[in-house]
Amino acid sequence: MSERFRLFIDGQWVESVSGEWFENRNPADRGDLVGLFAKGDARDVELAVVAAKRAYESWRLVPAPKRAEILQRAGRLLEERKEALARDMTCEMGKILDETRGDVQEAIDTAFYAAGEGRRLFGDTVPVELPDKMGFSIRCPVGVFAVVTPWNFPMAIPSWKIFPALICGNTVVFKPASDTPLSAVNFVRVLEEAGVPPGVVNLVTGGGGTVGTALLEHPHVRGISFTGSTEVGRAIGETAGRLLKRCSLELGGKNPQIVLEDADLDLAVDGAVWGGFGTTGQRCTATSRIIVHERALSAFTERFLERASKLRIGNGLDPATEMGPCVTEGQRDTVEHYVKIGLDEGATLLTGGERAIEGDLAKGWFYRPTIFTNVRPDMRIAREEIFGPVVSILRARSYEEAIAIANDSSYGLSSSIYTRDISRACRAIRDLEAGITYVNGPTIGAEVQLPFGGVKETGNGHREASHTVLDVFTEWKSVYIDFSGRLQRAQIDTHGVSGE
């Protein structure tokens, strides 16, 4: 009998109120049942939120350096278990072991970075208008946060949200993607062992339409942090706005890599292969558009095609595998749908465009690395997020046209330019409409000490990672202390003050 994984509510691992379970299967081998997971609903959400609200009253009073000690222990536990956690993640998500190790490493980095904020959480001390008076600002926790995360980075992205939430004094109800619940269970087990008190972190697995909606609409949930599709994010934003809840949205991308005529083409190809087909293209920062100067187009395309067509597809547990499966059959169907759209629109298919079904690959949701050329900026494959191993090559006649094509998108998450010209590189940093710009590097590979997020329909303006994430999980309070012993009226009694 397959192992059953329960909900974590108020410090206890419990079955769902309904007693129902859902399956989690290996996308590289659908015959491999990873486990059965408790199927939560609104009743479980109620129990989790009540526990989180009760725990908040004591957790917010724990000194931040003491909260940081728990995060440091969690980081060390993640380090100790990195390989086992990575293997579990590969089995349920599909990406190769090098990438799942990187996913866990990002959670480790975030744990230690967030713990460092336990002795910072800076505010401002500023001059005030009146004598014998001082003014400063402090950060205060918000309350109970709903954390809703996707399947493509099932440990890194929860860490981006949960660790900062905790260091700031908030409590959390965590709803992970139903395609990757095991990594969420593993993450919460680490927090439990690290010493997070009961009710501070709660885990409710289940569908977005039941668990996610109940969380969002619960009156005691003060904020939500969501990473996922723009369509779902827009609906969450509308509900959060109506209910006046704190809301942080990190959504889609259609990320461009510009290759100018003076670029190191071998380096640009390395970036395109990694950015386009790493994680099977299932990243919000994936390189889905490559905009190449016409003088470099032929040489770049030839080298890129040669590299991509030789990528080894297979089970991510095999060290020789370079690209794993799509996460589900539905995701592979979406990729196929967009490949058909590209062909119907008149783009030229250079390689891929089909399922990989030979041998053991028939057991999973594999799709070949796919490259289109002769792609116009107005084509759907150049405008809509596919979230799969599909890359479009577009022609540009100049730097200016390349920038214009890159910016002609409703998204603005990550961007990249390959050039040896420092002037054009700096102009691109200024001109590209994106939250992240890489020079001579791919569009993927963000680090935790810099802000992560985008512009336009990529989100609602918040940033994750770095110290900037603290603005999501804290409220600012301004403090005035008057030690004059008399009434002093700002803006009124300041006229004529001599400083005596």
Active-site choice (92, 250, 261, 322): 250
pLDDT grade, residue 498 (50/70/90)? very low
- What is the β-pairing status of strands 4-5 and 29-38? parallel
Q: Is 62 helix (H, G, I), strand (E, B) or coil?
A: coil
For residues 261 and 241, state if they share a domain: no
Residue 499 in domain: no
How big is the chain by its Cα radius of gyration, in Å?
Answer: 25
For residues 223 and 315, state if they share a domain: no
Do residues 415 and 406 lie in contact, with contact meaning Cβ atoms separated by under 8 Å? Answer: yes
Greatest alpha-carbon span in the chain: 88
Do residues 297 and 265 lie in contact, with contact meaning Cβ atoms separated by under 8 Å? Answer: no
Residue 494 in domain: no
Using one digit for the tens of pLDDT, what is the confidence trace for 91-145? 999 999 999 999 999 999 999 999 999 999 999 999 999 999 999 999 999 999 9
- In whole angstroms, give the CA distance from residue 221 to residue 232: 18
Q: What is the CATH number of the domain that holds 41?
A: 3.40.605.10
Residue 319 in domain: yes
Give the per-residue pLDDT at 499.
Answer: 43
495, burial (CB in 10 Å: exposed 0-12, middle 13-18, buried 19+): exposed
pLDDT grade, residue 434 (50/70/90)? very high
Do residues 228 and 147 lie in contact, with contact meaning Cβ atoms separated by under 8 Å? Answer: no
Task: State which H helix or E strand residue 302 sits in.
Answer: helix 294-309
Using one digit for the tens of pLDDT, what is the confidence trace for 271-313? 999 999 999 999 999 999 999 999 999 999 999 999 999 999 9
For residues 42 and 171, state if they share a domain: yes
For residues 242 and 262, state if they share a domain: no
Burial per residue of 277-294, b for 16 or more beta-carbon CB atoms within 10 angstroms, e otherwise: bbbbbbbbbbbbbbbbbe
User: How many domains does the chain contain in total?
Assistant: 2
- In whole angstroms, give the CA distance from residue 35 to residue 3: 5
106 is catalytic: no
Q: Which two tokens stand for residue 448?
A: 């935790």
Residue 229 in domain: yes
Using one digit for the tens of pLDDT, what is the confidence trace for 19-70? 999 999 999 999 999 999 999 999 999 999 999 999 999 999 999 999 999 9
- In whole angstroms, give the CA distance from residue 33 to residue 91: 9
- In whole angstroms, give the CA distance from residue 422 to residue 302: 26
- In whole angstroms, give the CA distance from residue 195 to residue 190: 9
Is residue 494's pLDDT more than 90? no
For residues 220 and 318, state if they share a domain: no
For residues 152 and 297, state if they share a domain: no
Q: Dihedrals φ, ψ of 482, to 5°? A: -105, 115
- In whole angstroms, give the CA distance from residue 415 to residue 229: 19
For residues 238 and 292, state if they share a domain: no
For residues 159 and 285, state if they share a domain: no
For residues 243 and 296, state if they share a domain: no
Q: Which two tokens stand for residue 384?
A: 């809509």
Is residue 500's pLDDT more than 80? no
Residue 287 in domain: yes
Instruction: Return the DSSP state at 320.
Output: T
Q: Which two tokens stand for residue 144?
A: 């109970």
Do residues 204 and 175 lie in contact, with contact meaning Cβ atoms separated by under 8 Å? Answer: yes
Give the closest residue to 272 by CA, choosing from 157, 393, 433. Answer: 393
Q: Please list the residues that pair with 224 across neighbouring strands.
A: 146, 247
Instruction: Return the DSSP state at 121.
Output: -
For residues 396 and 264, state if they share a domain: yes
- In whole angstroms, give the CA distance from residue 283 to residue 270: 17
Do residues 165 and 56 lie in contact, with contact meaning Cβ atoms separated by under 8 Å? Answer: no
Is residue 236's pLDDT more than 50? yes
Give the per-residue pLDDT at 386.
Answer: 98
Q: Which two tokens stand for residue 130?
A: 């009146």
Residue 492 in domain: no
Burial per residue of 372-386, b for 16 or more beta-carbon CB atoms within 10 angstroms, e otherwise: bbebebebebbbbbb
For residues 160 and 198, state if they share a domain: yes
Give the closest residue to 93 by CA, choosing from 16, 156, 18. Answer: 156
Task: State which H helix or E strand residue 403 sits in.
Answer: helix 399-407
Give the per-residue pLDDT at 409.
Answer: 98
Using one digit for the tens of pLDDT, what is the confidence trace for 187-233? 999 999 999 999 999 999 999 999 999 999 999 999 999 999 999 99
Mean pLDDT over residues 166-186, rounded?
98
- Number of residues that this document lists for the chain: 500
- Alpha carbon of residue 492 to chain centroid: 49
Active-site choice (168, 247, 284, 326): 284
Name the packing angle between helices 156-167 and 181-194 (round to 10°). Answer: 30
Give the Å distances, CA to CA, from 161 to 157, 256, 468: 7, 26, 12
Do residues 118 and 167 lie in contact, with contact meaning Cβ atoms separated by under 8 Å? Answer: yes
Residue 491 in domain: no
Q: Which two tokens stand for residue 47?
A: 């129990």
Residue 452 in domain: no
Whole-prediction pTM:
0.96
Give the per-residue pLDDT at 211.
Answer: 97
Q: What is the CATH number of the domain that holds 388?
A: 3.40.309.10
For residues 282 and 234, state if they share a domain: no
500 is catalytic: no
Instruction: Give every CB contact of residue 213 below 8 A, 6+ residues apart in sequence.
Output: none
Domain limits for position 223: 4-251+459-478
